[in-house]
Structure 1
């Protein structure tokens, strides 16, 4: 969908046309169940509403409802360390999901772009936080179906 929308634009974005602007990103969440705790490496997902990992693995990122600049989507980070920031100090074990993200056209409020952010803007992602050297630290992905969980790292903190 990102590639198709990019083809319709007067200004062609080569990265969007080639692969939809695919990025490797991190998403932090909590584990409220015993998944990954025992030596038997149980792969049974729980049905607990508060278990973010099992909910994401069962239903995808569609269950995540985060808001940023009047838009609803999913927050991803450029490093696993920063993925824990949105979680805060919550109960449960923490984990990071390594994800492939189709970022598509990225709206960067630090650039001079006149379009408003809404469903008709043509943007697929929003920059939430950027480093001084122009690397996107936090990316807010508007379409949760554009995020594919690939690996899970469970932390003992």
Structure 2
């Protein structure tokens, strides 16, 4: 995720119960009989990021999804360089080209990754059934015509500041909502754009100033998009008879 000049992001305490090993309460030999709350070795689920201990695997998953949702990519990271190059491409006005303050890597939950991968497999299978007509269809068969596209959002928290990795629960923090739940399935389509400049311009230029009282900032998401067969505006989407999987400006994203 690219964060231009004014971008910072939210933090909140996890609402899920945490369990830590209590020490010094009884001898190790008495764990099973006299210390029923002491987790057995097979029931311990440690967080590899911070070392916190949980008694249930789903508590660990919830903890990691909220407390370790992102990590910052340093200057020496190859991903950092790639994102910087992608972000700066397309900005012809160097004065307006926002400075990149930090680049965060989103750690998507297994559920979100699986949902994306399942959709990509459906696109590939559909393209294979209909046969390859051109380069576009060959890409659909190979990888679902997966693309990298930009989506600009606002946020109101401090995610990423001082290496903060926790997402918040603030109602109007779009970035944390997307990280936690993904894009809303109620939407007719999700608009993703070829350049960061176009994505940046999709949000009013004065949004930060107008909603300064809410600490609103903007962030840029770099999205993996399973575009499939892309049709022009007005053509039917997701038809079983070989129609288009996405339209201009609309595609399935992770």
TM-score (normalizing by structure 2): 0.43
Q: Distance in 1 between matches of 2:237 and 2:147?
A: 22
Map residues 1-157 of structure 1 onto 2, 5 A cutoff: 1-9=122-130, 12=133, 13-37=137-161, 39=162, 41-62=163-184, 65=187, 72-88=188-204, 89-90=206-207, 91=211, 92-109=216-233, 116-120=235-239, 122-127=243-248, 139-141=249-251, 143=252, 147-148=253-254
Structure 2 gaps, min length 5: 1-121
Q: CA shift at 1:64, angstroms? A: 7.2
Two-structure CA RMSD over aligned residues (Å):
2.2
Contact 2:150 2:196 in 1 (8 A): yes
Looking at secondary structure, tell me which structure has more helix per residue: 2
Change (3 A) 1:29 1:93: same
Q: Which has the higher strand share?
A: 1
Contact 1:64 1:74 in 2 (8 A): no
Runs of at least 5 residues in structure 1 that lack an aligned partner in the other structure: 66-71, 110-114, 128-138, 149-157
The 3 A distance-change label for structure 1 pair 44 and 53 is same
| TM-score, reference length from structure 1 | 0.67
Question: Does the aligned pair in 2 maintain the 1:104–1:125 contact within 8 Å?
Answer: yes
Separation in 1, partners of 2:191, 2:138: 25
Larger Rg: 2
Q: Count residues with an aligned counterpart.
A: 120
